[in-house]
Structure 1
Amino acid sequence: MDKEVLDYAVEKTHELMSAPSCSNEAKAAAQTWLDSIGTDREAAETKKYIDELEADILPVDSLIGFAGSEAGIQVFGEETAKNIEAHAIEIKSAGEKYCDCPACAAVAAILSKKDVLLK
């Protein structure tokens, strides 16, 4: 694997794991992947990690729907939910496809190198 891309993915993986919005499943997959680097499990764990990241990244339309729902209001509180919904609408109108929270931003950065990581 290209060392520069690997180093980038490792850096973004640490950012992902540090993000408050990172799911437990993504943290576990990230740690398993980090632990596999340099071993005979690396290729298989990279594929599993990419699959987990693709499942976890939140499309902006889903964020808009959740933030504007009763469940979103229960999770975030009414004011924060309204702010998140407005922000999501704003980034969608600017062309974003995914949520831009720290976890999703790290995932998007890693996935941008997916083709090289999976080689």
Structure 2
Amino acid sequence: MDKATIKEKVEAMISAPSCCAELKTAGERYLKAIGTPEEKDEAKKLLDEIKMDVCTIDQVIELFTSAKGEELFGKEKAAAIASHAKEVKAKGGVYCDCPACAPGVELMDAAADILK
């Protein structure tokens, strides 16, 4: 993955409403470090944060079928997201496909390019 695409994926990930604060901060720090001596260090930190925050599809299903998921998102929305996640899993999906996790997965897959 080239640097321009990496930058686009990071920007998409951190602008997603589903992006957690820690991942957003790591992404912003990486973007600011591009082209500086700190870039590689911030890239490592970003990848570590992505690995901690990107959810597996099983984690998504577990949350959105739980009482906590219903409490946080409402019964109808939790059920809709759980249903979607089950469809993703049935098609072989391993990770959450939300607007934050999907580019995060692509960035994990491109770790070698990011660390260049």
Same fold (TM over 0.5): yes
Letter in 2 for 1:103: A
Partner of 2:85: 88
Q: Deviation of residue 110 (structure 1)?
A: 1.4
Structure 2 gap segments, 5+ residues each:
none
Supply the distance in 2 between the matched residues of 1:25 and 1:72 (Cα, whole angstroms): 21
Q: Which residue of 2 aligns with 1:20?
A: 17
Say what the alpha-carbon RMSD is for the aligned residues.
1.0
Which consecutive unaligned segments of at least 5 residues does structure 1 have? none
Partner of residue 39 from structure 1, selected from 36, 39, 48 = 36
**Contact preservation (8 Å) 1:5, 1:113:** no
1:76 deviation in Å? 1.1
Structure-2 separation of matches of 1:86 and 1:16: 23
Map of 1:78 onto structure 2? 75
TM-score with structure 1 setting the length: 0.93
* Equivalent residue pairs, number: 116
Deviations 1:83-119 (A, max 9, x none): 1111111100101111111001111121221122123
1:65 aligned partner: 62
Q: Percent identity?
A: 39
Shift in Å, 1:35: 0.8
Could you list the structure 1 runs, at least 4 aligned residues long, displaced by more than 6 angstroms after superposition: none
Q: Is the 8 A contact 1:50 1:111 kept in 2?
A: yes
Whether 2:110 is the aligned partner of 1:101: answer: no
Offset from partner CA, 1:51-89 (integer Å, 9 cap, x none): 001111000000000000011001110011111111111
Find the residue that maps to 1:21 and give its secondary structure.
Answer: coil
